[in-house]
Structure 1
Amino acid sequence: MAVVTITKDNFEAEVLGCKIPVVLDFWAEWCEPCKMQSTVIEELAAELDGKVKFGKVNVDEEASLALNYQIMSIPTLVVMHYGLFQGKAIGVQGKDAIREMLQGVL
């Protein structure tokens, strides 16, 4: 499954209504660490296809979503399951760290 672009318009359907865990990657175009994180997210999206949905939230374009999840630094990953907040990690995360974040929801 490809990484989905998440906006305030599709947030309810793509995240809150999703039956599998969702990892939200809060990022910005100008953020170099976010670009490093993006590579890891793309690889995990391919590996965990059908088990986990990965979405990217551009904090410059979707400031209200960033505010709702109290995103103060980027990149930040937020794990959601059945529309409920499950965890958050700030800074670039490796595959193992992201898998560990997902252990409780898989």
Structure 2
Amino acid sequence: MITLTADNFAEQVLGSDKPVLVDFWAEWCGPCKMIAPVLEQIEAEYGDRVTIAKLNADDHPEISSRYGVLGLPTLSLFKNGEVVQQIKGAKPKRMLLADLEGHI
């Protein structure tokens, strides 16, 4: 899982040749901690088709604001540098995969 910062966001997300699922999270966010193992499972199973990355919204509010992140956790799926899907809140794995279907 990639840890994103202001320094590597453009290269790792916007410049990626495969879809990138960005997990906007914060240390204080309980649901963010609940979804982390689910994202690890998705990465293990679908890592050849999608990159999973985490961005601490408290450390990088400018990026969170740019992509309309108002609550945490928010998962934004980027394809070719554009957000094609945004998922708000923690969900079970099967629901996340259903939301991502057709994109990965």
TM-score range, shorter chain: over 0.9
Amino acid at match of 1:26: F
Deviation at 1:49, TM superposition (A): 1.6
Contact 1:34 1:74 in 2 (8 A): yes
TM-score, normalised to structure 2's length?
0.93
Give distance in 2, aligned partners of 1:104 and 1:47.
16
Q: Segments of 4+ in structure 1 off by > 2 A?
A: none
Deviation at 1:51, TM superposition (A): 0.8
Deviation at 1:88, TM superposition (A): 0.7
Alignment-derived partner of residue 51 in structure 2: 53
Count of matched residue pairs = 104
- 1:4-83 → structure 2 map (5 Å cutoff): 4-83=2-81
Q: Mind listing any 5+ residue stretches in structure 2 that lack a counterpart?
A: none
Q: Mind listing any 5+ residue stretches in structure 1 that lack a counterpart?
A: none
Identity of aligned residues (%): 37
Range moving further from structure 2, 13-22 or 94-103: 94-103
Deviation at 1:85, TM superposition (A): 1.0
Give distance in 1, aligned partners of 2:77 and 2:8.
17
CA-atom RMSD in angstroms: 1.0
TM-score, normalised to structure 1's length?
0.92
Deviation at 1:98, TM superposition (A): 2.0
Give distance in 2, aligned partners of 1:83 and 1:30.
29
Deviation at 1:73, TM superposition (A): 0.7
SS of 1:37 mapped into structure 2? helix
Deviation at 1:99, TM superposition (A): 1.6
Deviation at 1:30, TM superposition (A): 0.9
Q: Does 1:87 align with 2:85?
A: yes
